[in-house]
Structure 1
């Protein structure tokens, strides 16, 4: 993955570009509310406004409950539209922008994720109370791994799209 930009005005934001099997991906990683707002405005203008069906991939990673936090919460919010992906490290963000809260509340946009309702609940800490058009892919897609009840995006993507992704294991 090649870093495109290290934003000077937002030193804790970075934009990466990657090509996987002739597919171009742009990943924006940030802790800054202003960068989140720019990403939302760009994907709405460039992609979603023209789309008949507006779909955004949605996922959260949570804080580790073993780290002494009283309540587990969302640590990272990931949103994907076409080849554009936002990785918002929300747990260390300078603030949660109102534009993000409004974007997630937009009933015209379908937010799709694996076990998405767990992710939505973990965002309550940040004032994101609900996502009215959240779609849990587990309820509409057949489980390709019968002996595993809760499947993440890796399993669903590998089965339905054939991406061949491997989930990385982190040692503690």
Structure 2
């Protein structure tokens, strides 16, 4: 163990406590703040639409995602989601943000692993020609592969139960 410890240099960005934790005390890993952005990123695209990056999520988990969009003059103040929702992403609230623009709250159900992109449309209630597409981009990992550090603006609000036929108490047809 001492020989292995001697060969390891101090890793940049992550450091582990040198002392073992006391019985019952949690162990800690410390990350340098500059290594990651910890907030949901909203990026305007060249076609007046927006990409919202929400980071790592887990399959079979339901998340509330809150982000601010900059002001879109064509939409005006009265904005609503399009009546044809995505099956996995649904807008639950749109309010004016205190600093301008819109505060959007949505619910997202991560169904499968991979890099996923779900879209919703925001419509103006006063200008029928105005709409903005919002793409929510998430990296979804299997529910059995650890726990992601959620970005600020993302919180887990539920876990879907995994169906396992061997645990069923159904006896079948007679």
Query: TM-score, normalization: structure 1?
Result: 0.21
Q: Which has the higher contact order (CA 8 A, sep 6+)?
A: 2
The structure with more radius of gyration: 2
Query: TM-score, normalization: structure 2?
Result: 0.21
Instruction: Choose between structure 1 and 2: higher strand proportion.
Output: 2
Instruction: Choose between structure 1 and 2: higher helix proportion.
Output: 1
